[in-house]
Structure 1
Amino acid sequence: MEVNSSTTVPAGPPTISTKNHTFIHHYHHLHSEKDYHNHVGHFPFKTIIIIITMVALIMLLFTIFLVVCLIRRQKSSSKNGVCKDDCESRVLHDTSRRHIAPTILSFDSSPDVKGGCLYGGNLSRTPPTPKFRGVQVFTYRELEVATNGFNEANEIGNGGINGLMYKGVLSDGTLAAIKLLQSEGKQGERAFRIEVDLLSQLRSPYLVELLGYCADQHHRLLIFEYMPNGTLQHHLHSLNDKTQPLDWWSRMRIALDCARALEFLHEHAVSPVIHRDFKTYNVLLDQNFRAKVADFGLANMGSEKRNGQVSTRVLGTTGYLAPEYASTGKLTTKSDVYSYGVVLLELLTGRVPVDIKRPTGEHVLVSWALPRLTNREKVVEMVDPVLHGQYSKKALVQVAAIAAMCIQPEADYRPLMTDVVQSLIPLVRAHSLSSSLRFQKQIPSY
């Protein structure tokens, strides 16, 4: 019997294995496609996130740059812009006191005066934006009441070359010094306008504060903060025996305050301001004998250039005028430095700038003092005798050296007021520290 060795395959369709193979193949194919799509899908999503982040960052940087540019442009425009008159802010004339913004006044010979308020152009080329309340406008009647009819009993001195000063009490109880301008004509009007313009814009603890003004009809008055201890001139040169002489350190502190005032005018005002009439009579003292500079009727706007000259008519007080200004009318901030040097000599010696009663060779303070200021023995001999030797010899030598530099005949050899301030600060500070230590030692311990 022949046996068939071939394997017998059962009849029927091979559904299971074929389907399994097909399913497995299809399964792997689907998973491969899914993995592929997942892989392909994730990549562009991350890329989009990165692109969006970069765009947002670029936009943020651009925005910051734009803001910085706008801020710089605004600062530049506020610094270089010219202040224009705002005629819409006119104040109506009435009997009540009013607050106004700092007034910019022009120098026209025929000012427009309406209702106690002046309207005009611009003295300073680039006036700063005021950070304090404006000066007040007063009627003549208000100030007449404040001074009891400008009674002689309330007169506290001469208000400079063209006015009288009165002590007054304003309607709100404020004690004030009221300056009644007496001179008429262009010079008096110009002096009035300069003071209102400058002191409405400039604010410093070393300048006397302008509280208000009156331009009622033909009357011109200025209202200042009251300085109870009067002028430096009175305390240095008064013949009244009741006046207490200033001690050495009070004089040094006054010298520093005055230096700071001129430094502010020369270096920190938007445009340099030359006082042009700096002297002991225009230095006022408060209740603590701290000094403030007053009387800006002759002030002049200096050149924007460093040490730039301004040609002008020679005005001021004999003995305080710088040589180049007195001879040629060329005015610079160094002219104020010379006047400051004269005041410093007055603080050192107690002498007036010009005294024809003194012996020959001693009539003019500057010419007498200049050759002696660099000699230690002669400097000691120059000191005001009312001090009775109560001063620091080391400080005396240093202050004498500062005075010698300030009164140099050549303007270029004089220091800046900033340098004077920096030289005086250590002297005053050293005395303050030593006084504080002495006070602490005197306190008993329990």
Structure 2
Amino acid sequence: MCKTKMAINATSPTSTPRTPSTTSSTARASATSLTFSDQNPSTSYASTSASTGYRLSSSNSISTSSRNSLPTLRETLPENPHIYDFSEIRAATNNFLSKRHSSSTPCWRCTLRGADVIVFQRKLRRKINDLRSLLSIICRCHHVNIVKLLGASISGDHVYLVYDFVAGGNLADCLRNARNANFTVLSTWMSRMQVATDLAHALDYVHNKNGVSIDFVHNHIKSSAIIVTEPDFNARVCHFGAAQLCGEVENQFATAGEKLGEIVEESPPARRSGRPEVQFSGVRGYMSPEYQTTGVATQESDVYAFGVVLLELLSGEEPLKFRFDEKTRDFVRISVVETARVAVDGGGGGGVRRWVDRRLKDSFPIDIADKLTRVALDCVHVEADKRPNMSRVADKVSTLYLKSKNWSESIKMPDMSVSLVPR
């Protein structure tokens, strides 16, 4: 097996590498060892379910019959979302004068109530009547590949979302090094398959297996919002719950909110005079055609963004880039979706082999790469209703992961080390 070492300090000791499986979700969950810890230090937890492999944060005993039910286990987990006073946010960020953790998004790494966190500032698109109830619904979701939401604070037209800080490099930086175009942290096929599998299962959980009977939409799937951690290149998705708390998917979440006690207040109707102005945020290259037209985020638009990230992961290229054409004296738009379609249409796997990131040095199974590219192209279908469900996508990616693992073991890759620093 290939031994890898990556110079990223992960702060998630409870996350253990998962081996994907094509079996049911319950079987996958049973094979995974996860640890959940309460934010309330006054409570002690010591009960462990041997039948599921989960360490339960509960002071109450759980009957043997209920241990086999994952929804029942989830309900027993303590949920203590924090409602931070705005003064706490200001003090922790030095009145927002501290250095930003990211140049593209207003966010600050700081310490809040003894926890190492990262605070994101986002525009509030609707009013929230009961922030604690809404947070308790979102914080009820736990997944090893999703960065934990700890709490929130609201001030004026902004909401401040507080997430557990996870040390690592975002996927965009891991794929493309600004100082050395020939260097990438993800230099092996298995490292990229691990990221693809973790991302697929995380998004499948968000859409279908969160256990709170709400059609969650992530709406922030992009390579810069995915953290890659050491030592096994596990991926963790950021910004879970941001779309709901900021009001980006108010139509989908309002129905669920009404059922849960009128926790959501509808925004005022659009003015009838003149053309209604559609305002929404998105990242060029990751937005589905229908999202660009309507500004309405759906699970299908999440699937589209996932497909783009998957193509980005395979090719190492940005979703969109512009090249200056000397003949036409104009800039030519190059889309990773379009280049992938051309590669697949080449037939025989030859086109895909030349399209896949050259920094992998042809050390990857061409047939598996071809199949994974086709899965990604299914996800970016122009028509939303023809895109596959994330459960189906996760199963396909898991199957290809296992085949890739067998391939990797069969060729007996030599030992090597990997570092974030270009050599």
TM-score with structure 2 setting the length: 0.61
- 1:335 matched residue in structure 2: 301
More helix by share: 1
What is the aligned counterpart of 1:388 among 361, 371, 374?
361
8 A contact 2:227–2:235 mirrored in 1: yes
What is the aligned counterpart of 1:201 among 110, 129, 140?
140
8 A contact 2:122–2:160 mirrored in 1: no
Q: Where in structure 2 are the equivalents of 1:257-406 lying within 5 Å?
A: 257-269=198-210, 270-288=213-231, 289-295=233-239, 296-299=241-244, 300=249, 302=252, 314-329=280-295, 331-357=297-323, 363-375=334-346, 376-406=349-379
8 A contact 2:323–2:332 mirrored in 1: no
1:416 and 2:389 correspond? yes
8 A contact 1:144–1:150 mirrored in 2: yes
- Using the alignment, how far apart are the partners of 1:147 and 1:426 within structure 2? 44
- Using the alignment, how far apart are the partners of 1:218 and 1:339 within structure 2? 27
- 2:4 matched residue in structure 1: none
- Using the alignment, how far apart are the partners of 1:147 and 1:378 within structure 2? 50
1:246 and 2:192 correspond? no
- Deviations along 1:341-380, one digit per CA (max 9) or x if unpaired, are 1111100111111211365665222233223224321111
- 1:114 matched residue in structure 2: none
- 2:107 matched residue in structure 1: 165
Check 1:130–1:152 CA distance in 2 against 1; reply closer, same or farther (3 A cut).
same
- Using the alignment, how far apart are the partners of 2:158 and 2:301 within structure 1? 33
- Using the alignment, how far apart are the partners of 2:318 and 2:134 within structure 1? 27
What is the aligned residue count? 303
- Deviations along 1:269-310, one digit per CA (max 9) or x if unpaired, are 312112223111221223343112222433526499xxxxxx
- 1:64 matched residue in structure 2: none
- Using the alignment, how far apart are the partners of 2:164 and 2:137 within structure 1? 16
- 1:12 matched residue in structure 2: none
- Using the alignment, how far apart are the partners of 2:162 and 2:206 within structure 1? 21
Q: SS of the residue aligned with 1:273?
A: coil
What is the aligned counterpart of 2:150 among 188, 203, 211?
211
Q: SS of the residue aligned with 2:150?
A: strand
Check 1:372–1:435 CA distance in 2 against 1; reply closer, same or farther (3 A cut).
closer
8 A contact 1:334–1:411 mirrored in 2: yes
- CA shift at 1:175, angstroms? 2.3
What is the aligned counterpart of 1:134 among 80, 85, 93?
80
8 A contact 1:319–1:353 mirrored in 2: yes
8 A contact 1:237–1:350 mirrored in 2: yes
- CA shift at 1:381, angstroms? 1.4
What is the aligned counterpart of 2:167 among 205, 228, 235?
228
Q: SS of the residue aligned with 2:378?
A: helix
8 A contact 2:174–2:186 mirrored in 1: yes
Q: SS of the residue aligned with 2:119?
A: strand
CA RMSD of aligned residues (A): 3.8
- 2:125 matched residue in structure 1: 187
Check 1:441–1:400 CA distance in 2 against 1; reply closer, same or farther (3 A cut).
closer
Runs of 4+ in structure 1 over 6 Å off: 192-195, 216-219, 436-442
Q: SS of the residue aligned with 1:373?
A: helix
- Using the alignment, how far apart are the partners of 2:155 and 2:383 within structure 1? 45
- Using the alignment, how far apart are the partners of 2:405 and 2:203 within structure 1? 23
**In the alignment, residue 207 of structure 2 is paired with which amino acid?**
H
Q: Where in structure 2 are the equivalents of 1:103-122 lying within 5 Å?
A: none
Q: What are the ranges of 5 or more consecutive residues in structure 1 without an aligned counterpart?
A: 1-96, 100-127, 305-311
**In the alignment, residue 215 of structure 2 is paired with which amino acid?**
P
- Deviations along 1:102-160, one digit per CA (max 9) or x if unpaired, are xxxxxxxxxxxxxxxxxxxxxxxxxx95733312233445445545665545x321474
Q: SS of the residue aligned with 1:178?
A: strand
- CA shift at 1:421, angstroms? 0.8
**In the alignment, residue 125 of structure 2 is paired with which amino acid?**
Q
Q: SS of the residue aligned with 1:260?
A: helix
- 2:118 matched residue in structure 1: 177
Check 1:196–1:171 CA distance in 2 against 1; reply closer, same or farther (3 A cut).
closer
- Using the alignment, how far apart are the partners of 1:158 and 1:441 within structure 2? 38
Q: What are the ranges of 5 or more consecutive residues in structure 2 without an aligned counterpart?
A: 1-38, 42-73, 256-277, 326-330, 416-423
Provide the identity percentage.
24
**In the alignment, residue 339 of structure 2 is paired with which amino acid?**
W
8 A contact 1:265–1:273 mirrored in 2: yes
8 A contact 2:90–2:96 mirrored in 1: yes
TM-score with structure 1 setting the length: 0.58
**In the alignment, residue 263 of structure 1 is paired with which amino acid?**
D
Check 1:424–1:358 CA distance in 2 against 1; reply closer, same or farther (3 A cut).
farther
- CA shift at 1:197, angstroms? 6.3
Q: SS of the residue aligned with 1:355?
A: strand
Check 1:403–1:437 CA distance in 2 against 1; reply closer, same or farther (3 A cut).
closer
Greater relative CO, 1 or 2 (CA 8 Å, sep 6+):
2
Say which one has the larger Rg: 1
8 A contact 2:184–2:359 mirrored in 1: no
- Using the alignment, how far apart are the partners of 1:175 and 1:131 within structure 2? 22
